Amino acid sequence: MFLVLLKKELFIELRSKELILSMVVFGIAIVLAFSFSSNLSRAVVINYASGMFWITILFVSALGVHRSFAYEKEYDAFSMLVTAPIDRGLIFLAKWVSGFIYLTLMEILIIFPFFKFLMIDYPSNILIAISTTLFINLGIMAVANLVSGIAMRSNLSEILLPILFFPLVSPIIIAATKISTSVMLNDSYVLWEIWVLIVGSIIIISGLAGYVLFDYLVEE
């Protein structure tokens, strides 16, 4: 059943292309704004680049997850999903995984302009950079989908989503910035291990909470 739900999430985007397109355009616009508005030396930019990147991802993920749940609200499609005899936690898992895929795709599309326009070098240990980024994406999307599930049934969902999402995802963004800066500077893992553990804890807590609570969250 999880695969049926995941397939729906991916196909719906393949059809409309609204989500990825809006995420990429918004992401590139922020990257361009950062690169053309700052006149900093390369050494300074390297220190701030991770923060800039994760702030971009923060806004883009809010946009993406809002659109993902908007599909459910239009035509009240969610009612058919929720009344189906399925484990409602799987709806959360499918949204989490599809959100992770979209976010990763979007990052692939904006990462090259990001490094190019900010005129910084790619990290020397590319495998660690990719794996930590994927790990952080999982955390961001776990929180984003949990919060969207809470906000969706409210009449004020468009206001409630950023109010809940930005403070709750802040620990991940702070940890992400620390991890990425350390990876860029080739620091020893011991120095940034704590931040990885923080993101891991948030993934476990948000993932479990989303899976268990989604049954109740989706009822009006």
Partner 1 sequence: MLSVQNISKAFNRKKILKNISFSQKEGESIVFMGRNGAGKSTLFRIIARLMTYDNGSIIFQGKNLLKVKPIHSSKLFYLGHSPGMYHPFSAIENLNFLLSLRKIYKDQSEILDVLDQFGLMESANEPIGVYSEGMLQRLKIVCAQLMDWDMILIDEPFSNLDKDGLDLVQKHISFWRSQNKTISMILHNKNHAENFCDRILTLESGIIK
**Least gap, CB of 72 to partner 1 (angstroms):** 8
| CB closer to partner 1 out of 139 and 149 | 149
CA distance 48 to 53: 9
**Least gap, CB of 64 to partner 1 (angstroms):** 16
**Least gap, CB of 149 to partner 1 (angstroms):** 14
**Least gap, CB of 105 to partner 1 (angstroms):** 18
Nearest to 5 by CA among 105, 99, 95: 95
Encoded amino acid at 70, one letter: A
| CB closer to partner 1 out of 89 and 200 | 89
DSSP symbols for 112-143: HHHHHHHT-PPPS-HHHHHHHHHHHHHHHHHH
**Least gap, CB of 116 to partner 1 (angstroms):** 33
| CB closer to partner 1 out of 86 and 101 | 86
CA distance 88 to 68: 16
Tell me if residue 71 falls in helix, strand or coil.
helix
Positive/negative CA dihedral, 10, 11, 12, 14: positive
154: which DSSP letter? S
| CB closer to partner 1 out of 82 and 172 | 82
| CB closer to partner 1 out of 85 and 121 | 85
Helices 157-184 and 42-73, packing angle to 10 deg:
150
Query: Which residue is listed with tokens 């499609």?
Result: 77
Q: Which residues bind partner 1 (CB under 8 A)?
A: 1, 4, 8, 11-12, 15-16, 71, 74-77, 79-88, 215, 219-220
**Least gap, CB of 81 to partner 1 (angstroms):** 7
In angstroms, how far is CA 44 from the centroid of its own chain?
Answer: 26
87: which DSSP letter? -
| CB closer to partner 1 out of 74 and 121 | 74
